[in-house]
Amino acid sequence: MTDDAAVLPATTRGGPLETTLHEVVTTAVRHLDATSGALSVLTPDGVGVDRFVTVGPVVPAPAHPSPRSSITVPVRVRDAAFGTLSVSRTRAGAEFTAADVAVARSLAAVAGLAIENARLLERAELRRAWSQAGTEIATALLSGSPADAVLRTAAARVAELSGADAVAVLVPLPEDEETLTVTAAVGPAAEDAEGVRIPLADTRLGAAHRSGAPRLLDAVATGPGAPAPSREIGDLAVAYGSTLLVPLGGSAPLGTLVAARTRDRPAFDPAVLELASAFATQAAVALELVRSQQREQRLQVQTDRDRIARDLHDHVVQRIFATALALDRIGRSLEESAPEVAGRIAERVDELDGTIARIRTSIFELHAAPDPASTVLRSRLADVVRSVTDGHGLEPALRVRGDIEELPADVATELVAVVRELVTNVVRHAGATRLMVTVAVADTLRAVVTDDGRGLPTPTVRSGLANLADRAERRGGRLTVATGSSGTEVTWAVPLPG
């Protein structure tokens, strides 16, 4: 029985690949009585050297080496090239025989099996590590950890598992769909990179992000004949070569994960793209669940605020008003017989009127209260209603149904303009004392303004209402006006993109 069996434990034991390679070379050197040995393993694409293991002293070769002083045989498995096994003798007169060459080939065949099994185990372990990392990131997001911190941890894990030199998480901003912003980064100058906006126009990054399909690039820079890259991408192209682009999600991704290696390093193994994509999918699902939870929380908070505001208006304000009215009648009845008492009662009535006004202000603020999660649009609407109605004797109210913070930037801008115009029309023409603005977001966006005034003038070609009707029609919607004895209701409704 030959020493080929010494290699077999490494094949079945499933140790780390480096250990397996070293055992293969050691066995070859010992069995062939060689001075030194080396094993080079090719990369999966067969282009470069993935690993190079040596055993024995590195000594100068003789001045006139014998052709039989070294043996080099290919390491193959099922006709697939894995690398080469080499052994050498530097002692004078020590030559290999044809039998030694046959043994070396036999050892190389066994080595190929060992290498294949070790690689399979290494890939299985790597896949498990990626899966574990994805689970950890999803758990952290769903447990309420700050998203920025979790994304930064995710970038660090991707860098560790993929062997990337730099990793960044890029997300779109609501008001700008033509760029992605770096929200988390690891690697050289990571702090300087965070917050940088990268244009998407005519870039492979933009194509990957919009399609939701992951890509493996040979280099950051675009190919010949492509438009000149932006300054940001040009700076990256100088330092980085092989790059992974992994969108977080499907056709409408929440962001894109970018991992890159410096130009002096080998390209990513294509298998890493699949692993990184599975990791990104786990993270994207968790992010979407977190966003859904945040939307539910915002809606619940707003529902509670509406209930509190309604209770204040329907119960507290009405009772105070009734009390003030009763005191006012008593005071008037005492004006002749007890004017001093009547005066004090009048002061209390004025104080109650002031309390009612303050409660009504609180009611308005409850409807328009900022939400700590994302409140830019809600605050803008509240500011518009308040600024237009201030000083005109109107009691305004603002109610929001649905998550308006998820509206596209252009729709949000138009909504603010529409609400401003509708409220301005009420102030100028309706002679109202109360005004209610209701914004509802579902499949259709509705802005409804209700007042208790005398109604609005008939729209003319150049009137504000005519312009609002045109705005709605351009988006496939309509403007409707309903007037009755109790006031007027104007509804501006447009369908939202699916």
User: What string of DSSP letters covers 124-137?
Assistant: HHHHHHHHHHHHHH
CB atoms within 10 A of CB 225: 5
How many independent structural domains does the chain possess?
A: 4
Q: How much is the pLDDT for 493?
A: 93
Percent of the chain exceeding pLDDT 70 equals 84
Range of the domain at 338: 294-367
Candidates 365, 363, 435, 359; CA nearest to 393 is 435
**How many whole angstroms separate alpha carbon 147 and alpha carbon 184?**
10
Least confidently predicted of 217-221, 329-333, 345-349, 351-355: 217-221
pLDDT of 364 above 70: yes
**How many whole angstroms separate alpha carbon 43 and alpha carbon 52?**
11
275: in domain:
no
Claim to verify: residue 155 and residue 262 sit in the same structural domain? yes
Claim to verify: residue 235 and residue 159 sit in the same structural domain? yes
**How many whole angstroms separate alpha carbon 411 and alpha carbon 367?**
21
Claim to verify: residue 330 and residue 409 sit in the same structural domain? no
Contacts of 291-300 spanning 24+ positions with Cβ under 8 A: 291/254, 294/373, 294/374, 295/403, 295/406, 297/373, 298/371, 298/373, 298/374, 298/403, 298/405, 299/402, 299/403
Q: How far apart are the first and last CA of the chain?
A: 72
pLDDT of 467 above 80: no
**How many whole angstroms separate alpha carbon 128 and alpha carbon 122?**
10
Mean pLDDT of 403-414: 79
Claim to verify: residue 329 and residue 376 sit in the same structural domain? no
247: in domain:
yes
Claim to verify: residue 88 and residue 191 sit in the same structural domain? no
Claim to verify: residue 490 and residue 382 sit in the same structural domain? yes
Claim to verify: residue 488 and residue 386 sit in the same structural domain? yes
Claim to verify: residue 30 and residue 112 sit in the same structural domain? yes
In the DSSP assignment, the letter for residue 266 is: P
Q: What is the pLDDT of residues 417-427, one digit of tens each?
A: 889 888 888 88
Residues contacting 104, CB < 8 A, separation 6+: 28, 32, 71, 73, 85, 87, 96
pLDDT of 2 above 50: no
Q: What is the pLDDT of residues 109-121, one digit of tens each?
A: 887 887 778 778 8
pLDDT of 67 above 70: no
Q: pLDDT band for 308, please (50, 70, 90 cuts).
A: confident
Least confidently predicted of 58-67, 343-352, 370-379: 58-67
pTM, whole model, 2 decimals?
0.53
301: in domain:
yes
pLDDT of 492 above 90: yes
Mean pLDDT of 369-378: 56
pLDDT of 189 above 80: no
Q: How much is the pLDDT for 172?
A: 81
203: in domain:
yes
Candidates 267, 222, 275, 206; CA nearest to 241 is 267
432: in domain:
yes
Contact yes or no for 371/298 (Cβ under 8 A): yes
Domain with residue 103: its CATH number is 3.30.450.40
**How many whole angstroms separate alpha carbon 119 and alpha carbon 125?**
10
Among 268, 285, 306, the domain boundary falls at 268
Q: What is the DSSP string of 307-328?
A: HHHHHIIIIIIHHHHHHHHHHH
Percent of the chain exceeding pLDDT 90 equals 6
Q: How much is the pLDDT for 479?
A: 92
Claim to verify: residue 350 and residue 462 sit in the same structural domain? no
The tokens of 207 are what? 């194509």
280: in domain:
no
Among 204, 234, 268, the domain boundary falls at 268
Domain with residue 484: its CATH number is 3.30.565.10
Claim to verify: residue 117 and residue 34 sit in the same structural domain? yes
Claim to verify: residue 46 and residue 101 sit in the same structural domain? yes
Q: How much is the pLDDT for 455?
A: 66
Residue at token pair 């096994």:
85
Highest mean pLDDT among 131-135, 204-208, 491-495: 491-495
**How many whole angstroms separate alpha carbon 40 and alpha carbon 280?**
34
Positive or negative: CA dihedral 117, 122, 125, 130: negative
The tokens of 120 are what? 């399979």
127: in domain:
no
Q: How much is the pLDDT for 380?
A: 81
Claim to verify: residue 484 and residue 378 sit in the same structural domain? yes
Among 323, 346, 367, the domain boundary falls at 367
Mean pLDDT of the chain: 79
130: in domain:
no
Q: pLDDT band for 10, please (50, 70, 90 cuts).
A: very low
Sheet holding 434-441, edge to edge: 395-401, 434-441, 444-451, 487-495, 478-484
pLDDT of 9 above 50: no
Q: What is the pLDDT of residues 217-269, one digit of tens each?
A: 887 655 444 455 556 565 666 778 888 998 887 666 788 889 999 888 888 88
Contact yes or no for 78/85 (Cβ under 8 A): no
Q: How much is the pLDDT for 403?
A: 74
